[in-house]
Structure 1
Amino acid sequence: MSPQPASASASGKGLETGYLLAAVTILIWAGFVVVSRIAGKSTLTPFDVAALRIGTAALVLSPWWVPRLLNPALRQLRWYQSALFAALAGVAYPLVCYEGFVHAPASHGAVLISGTMPFFTTIFAFVLLGERAARVRLLGLSLIAAGVAAMFAANFTGAASAASSGSVLFGDLMFVCASALWSLFGTLLKFWKVRAFTVTLGVVAFSAMFYLPIYALALPKNLLQTPMEQVVLQAVFQGVIVVCVAMWTYAKAAELIGPSKLAVLTSLVPATATLMAIPILGESLSAAAAIGVALTSIGALMGAMARTPEPRGS
């Protein structure tokens, strides 16, 4: 038997690395749901949490992005790419998410942010990349849709039904908008074929330069009224773990396995976050939610294993 070509071996290792980075991203995103809901129930405003996220990440990554800012020869992204990535993933996405967690439970965010992401990504990938979804992936998306519907229905039973429907609905709308924003970000990574660490630096630099001055001068803030342990928790988790770690793992995984497969895999976030919320936030898992977790997980795995057909005209 002849040995595998080196390129095939390298490709296999790249896929393995991509799936490993996707798993890390899923765990961090599940934690993001729980920690963001903790922030939403605290005295911190969404603008405070975004500032902690952006400011901490900018400080940690300053040895890499400051030299690029001062020396144009070191920059690997065009200014409009960095600006758009920062607008989507650095500012708009977290602000919309945090606003959602003020109004709606963590379980709603878990289901609606990551649960709807495969559908938005499939649309953006078709429009920007000409990528057609395989039949197996479409079946996986159908199972994800059923799982999301079951979990969403479960979230509106019992105690959740007593909440203000208008406020919860507004929070849910914010979660859906956040999903669309991140899906577009992920697809643009593939469209422009940019490197993960370069994107992370561009997002952090542009977000810090534009958002932090506006926050300091004009936006409402409650940092001084919030216990220090809450501030530290949000700064470390949102700024270091979510931005410095998860943004890189997501971008690198998208580079290695593609944004569509990654978006399908991140459908495991609702199940993971729901299970994490049980001991941390005291949430319970109903029978309908358990069915939703199972359907979403199976659909995500089916979609991730499906081969991507060649774009039309290739």
Structure 2
Amino acid sequence: MKILLFCENKYAVDIVRPLQAEADRQGGHEVLWYVHQKKIPVFPLKDEVRWTHSMQEAYDFHPDAVFAPGNIVPYYLSGVKCSIFHGYAAEKRDQFHIRNYFDIYMTQGRYFTEEFLKLQKKYRDFEVLETGWTRQDWIASHRHDFDQEREELLKRHQCERIVLYAPTFSPRLTSLPKIKEALVKLVDEKRVLLLIKLHPLTRQEWVEEYRQLAASHQNIVFEDDFAVSKYMLMADAMVSDTSSTIYEMLLLDKPVITVDTVSQDPYWKDIHDVGLLTAAYDEVFNSQMLTEKRQWIIANYDPYTDGHCAERMLQGVAEYIKRHGVPAKRKLNLWRKYVSIKTFGRVK
């Protein structure tokens, strides 16, 4: 099978990487990464995989399958176009918005599957396949890889726990402008080591502000790595606002505190006054109610922690091709075609 891993945004790299690993494990596949140069000018895997910035080269590759953790895939590409999502945030407005670019929606768990099956009945031009989410494969393979690094950090900083601060980049939703002093208080009062991992699209002025904060405090560390999964595995708890990484942390059965989340019924501790952050930190480790809510998320959002999500995705595409063949392109209305061309350009 000829597989195109489609990376429009930087976060996509970490999501599609397990598909490369599974294709390599199976053998017999040819894999090309499309990397959108405007949003990913420096590709972190440039020396490890076959890749291109050229949409023309991606088109000439004639893929049998295209895997995309984004909202748009060029309609003119050949192949079964598979949406594998870029997170779990069901409360975000675009999570269940159908833009008609995909042949298969590969869902993470039954909560998402049930919603997309309803949409399938309405639109009748795509299929739904529950596979789990690829980043869980990476977690299954690396769950204990950073245990020693974690213990060394705690010993070096003489702290009891690690807290990850991973806010969203959206100026409307982020906690970055107002939480800094509360984070410092938490670190000082609770013997906490704070790891700051900002979204790749965060405003540069906020990036510099928090980089300087880390430089001025011995128990605050600013992380530049493009992937957040490592730090979720190392941390005991997370502080955020409205980010899909919240659910990834809950799926690890670890507590989360948010500030002014947009979720109407959060399955974690949400506060509206940043002055309550330290009290919330004490609460989340001892609340039976919050523990039970995390267990519900694990059962319904993504129970596939077996390390075989990418395998299920490749199998699902192969079965789709057996039934329908390889699509030459996706049929779209003129507006969707225009958006696709405007975003990614034309091909010959």
> Is TM (by shorter chain) over 0.5?
no
> Which TM-score tier does this pair reach, normalised by the shorter chain?
under 0.3
Larger RCO, structures 1/2 (Cα 8 Å, 6+ apart): 1
TM-score (norm 1): 0.26
* Greater C-alpha radius of gyration: 2
Of Structure 1 and Structure 2, the greater helix share is in 1
Of Structure 1 and Structure 2, the greater strand share is in 2
